[in-house]
Amino acid sequence: MSAEFEELLATIHTLRAPGGCPWDRKQTLVDAARYLLDEAGELVDAALSGDGAHVREELGDLLFMTCFCCEILGETDGVSMHDIARQGNGKLIRRHPHVFGDAEAHEVGTSQKLWNEIKAQEKREQGLDPALAGTLKDMPASTAPLHLAYRWQKDAAGVGFDWPDLGGVKAKLAEELAELEQAEAGGDPEAIEHELGDVLFSLVNLARWHRIQPDLALRRANRRFAARFRLVESAFRARGRALDTVPLEELEAAWQEAKRSLAADSAPDSAQRTNPGT
């Protein structure tokens, strides 16, 4: 490993050693794993922003937390980051026989099938029968519900439990929206929650059919909303007006102006456009 990486490991070891940082020393593996989740989320946000410097910073934080987890594990299990790297590298090579062996896979679907077959064989060698595990993959309790819905829908589709075409997906969404309206008319909060959950589940299915990760789509939507709303807020603040005193009509007009302004700022230069008609 590089000298820089070894220095990082040495720094982490010092932080955890007697006389190191009290906060770092009191962290458990569960604590560190939870922080690792937080850092992964921040990396996704940085990647969506397109800011290379921010991405590098978050990658550094993620690398630190990964090594920090390994340091804590090593204190009880004697494992090192070198062991983890060796094990991870071995798994990658073993599950890519079409790259490091004689197998052939020229399409994404074929390579994914090879990966799954080798993974299932590994489970059998460990005394686990993948067939008994069920179709839906066990996911940690911390998994975001949006991603969990996407993952389980994909698992079910893998064994043929899926709509034959996109039309069926859209029809199901329309059906769920109609059922939500009926629940709203009935005024039962539990029924409304039930039907709203079905609507969200159907929207995730629609995203899956379009090969869109719903959590990433929602992250981008959140970013757009925040950017537009902050422009609206800034505009009225500059006039000395609090948002809760502004009529809805003015707020809507300012929102549309912010939307146009941000769209203009993000539009590619006309010389770079590949399809001026869109």
Residues 86 and 22 in one domain: yes
Question: Model confidence over 112-134: pLDDT tens digits?
Answer: 888 888 888 888 888 777 666 67
**Angle between helix 145-158 and 214-238 (nearest 10):** 150
Q: Which residues contact 162 (CB under 8 A, 6 or more apart)?
A: 153, 156
Domain count, the chain: 4
Residues 16 and 26 in one domain: yes
Distance CA 224, CA 266 (A): 11
Structure tokens at 273: 């456009």
Is 138 inside any structural domain?
no
DSSP 141: T
Indicate the average pLDDT of the chain.
89
Is 262 inside any structural domain?
yes
Is 275 inside any structural domain?
no
pTM here is 0.66
Q: CA torsion 32→38→41→42, rounded to 10°?
A: -110
Residues 86 and 12 in one domain: yes
Residues 221 and 155 in one domain: no
- The reported pLDDT for the residue numbered 250 is 95
Q: Which residues contact 219 (CB under 8 A, 6 or more apart)?
A: 44, 45, 48
Q: How many CB atoms lie within 10 A of CB 72?
A: 21
Residues 12 and 89 in one domain: yes
Is 231 inside any structural domain?
yes
Residues 77 and 9 in one domain: yes
Is 162 inside any structural domain?
yes
pLDDT above 70 covers what percent of the chain?
Answer: 94
Range(s) of the domain holding residue 105: 95-133
- Scanning 126-247, the segments in alpha helix (DSSP H) are 145-158, 166-186, 189-209, 214-238
pLDDT by residue, tens only, the chain of 278 residues: 689 999 999 999 999 999 999 999 999 999 999 899 889 989 998 998 889 999 999 999 999 999 999 999 999 999 999 999 999 999 999 999 999 988 888 788 788 888 888 888 888 888 777 666 678 888 887 788 999 999 999 999 988 999 999 999 999 999 999 999 999 999 999 999 999 999 999 999 999 999 999 999 999 999 999 999 999 999 999 999 999 999 999 999 999 999 999 988 776 543 333 333 32
Is 160 inside any structural domain?
yes
Question: Model confidence over 224-262: pLDDT tens digits?
Answer: 999 999 999 999 999 999 999 999 999 999 999 999 999
Question: Residue 179 sits in a domain of what CATH number?
Answer: 1.10.287.1080
